[in-house]
Amino acid sequence: MQIGSESVAVRIEILGIGDNVIGSMANGIQILYKLPSGVDINEIVTMLDNIDNKKVLPYIILKDRPSDIIDTKKVKFVIDINRDYDKKYTEMIYAIDDEGIVIYCGDSFDDCLSKISPPLNEKNKKHSHEDWMRAVVR
């Protein structure tokens, strides 16, 4: 997958939630972080937890179940036991917008943050039901 292309949905297990799908359309920008070998998971959790925006949906992809429960504000842990995610997502970090389009793929967390900042700051150009109702009431 490359920037600007439609992402691929993957059925996975989210720890504590169960079977789910990531990588497709969502209610925010998904950050999919595949944990490389030898990296401190607590450091990655802290980085993702410190993204101060409710529109960001951070996931850490693990190959095996963690031995300890990790304290986190918003990060969800994905278990990729069958390596389905690994087969479709080759880069370490992906950012996918709410329409399911890849806006970043690579291995730099800082570059990922710079790519997601413009979409997070854009006003929603879509019309919501609430906007339509406000216009009708006036």
* pLDDT over 50 at 23, yes or no: yes
Domain that holds residue 119: 10-137
Q: Is the model's pTM score more than 0.95?
A: no
- For residue 28, is it within any domain? yes
- For residue 108, is it within any domain? yes
Measured between alpha carbons, how far is 2 from 84 in angstroms, rounded to an integer?
Answer: 18
- CATH number of the domain to which 87 belongs: 3.40.30.10
Give a three-class secondary structure readout of 27-82.
Answer: CCEEEEEECCCCCCHHHHHHHHHCCCCCCEEEEEEECCCCCCCCCCCCCEEEECCC
Task: Read off the DSSP letter of residue 26.
Answer: -
pLDDT in tens, 66-118: 777 688 889 999 988 788 898 899 999 999 999 999 999 999 999 999 988 76
- Residue 51, C-beta contacts closer than 8 angstroms, at least 6 positions apart: 31, 58, 113
pLDDT in tens, 115-138: 887 665 555 555 454 554 555 455
- For residue 100, is it within any domain? yes
What average pLDDT does the chain have?
Answer: 84
- For residue 5, is it within any domain? no
- For residue 50, is it within any domain? yes
Domain count, the chain: 1
Which pLDDT does position 11 carry in this prediction? 87
Q: What angle do CA 123, 97, 93 make, to 5 degrees?
A: 135
